[in-house]
Amino acid sequence: MSIINFLIYCNRRVVYHKLVNSSNEIHDTYYISKLMTEVIEEIGPQNVVQVITDNGANFKRAGEILRSRATRFAINFIALRSLQQKKVALRTMFTSEEWTSSRYAEKIDGKQTEKCILNTHFWDCIAEIIVVVEPLYKVLRRVDMEKTHQMSHLYHYIHQAQEEIKRVMISPAKYEHFIEIISRR
């Protein structure tokens, strides 16, 4: 008989979630990834911070598949930060003679992009998102990169991230909403 157990670590305790009798299944990466995804959906993706698996090769690959889904968050953050770093160059490009005389400047997509790039509110929103997300991104990197288990330190890391957000945003009116969302998750 082949059984796969799912345990949850919450509030400094390990809780048994369920077992799956997988005796009649092939334990390939697809099957294991499917099971893990089902459990994550049962628990709620917003409640899952880390997945720890068996050391078997298929379990490791299934974990990598799940991790690649989670890295979309990091990719979006990195893209926004990169965009912010290129702000001056982008604004210069969209006000240049070369742009205004190009055929793209007359197209609907070109006009919408230009309007967005030249909009101060757009850049203010990017800056605010980066201020809020960067400390959380650092937490994810720290938990993901460390060789030892970091779950026991996660609440401390999240608290540090919240304090960093408060320090940078200064005004409670600005940061309270974000802190509330982080605390709920």
| Predicted confidence (pLDDT) per residue in 146-165, tens digit | 556 666 778 888 889 999 99
Residue 118 scores a pLDDT above 70: yes
**DSSP assignments along 33-98, one per residue:** HHHHHHHHHHH-GGG-------SSHHHHHHHHHHHHHHHHHHHHHHHHHHHHHTHHHHHHHHTSHH
More reliable by pLDDT, 128 or 77: 128
Q: What is the mean pLDDT of residues 6-25?
A: 86
Average pLDDT for 88-114: 94
For the range 58-62, what are the long-range contacts, defined as Cβ-Cβ under 8 Å and sequence gap of 24 or more? 58/27, 58/28, 58/29, 58/32, 59/32, 61/29, 61/32, 61/33, 62/29, 62/32, 62/33, 62/36
**For position 89, what pLDDT does the model report?**
93
pLDDT digits (tens, 9 = 90+) for 46-64: 677 777 787 788 888 887 7
Residue 23 pLDDT exceeds 80: yes
The pLDDT assigned to 104 comes to 92
User: Where do the domains of the chain lie?
Assistant: 1-70
- What pLDDT score does 113 carry? 94
Q: What is the mean pLDDT of residues 12-28?
A: 87
Predicted TM-score (pTM) of the model is: 0.57
At which residue do the structure tokens 């980066």 appear?
130
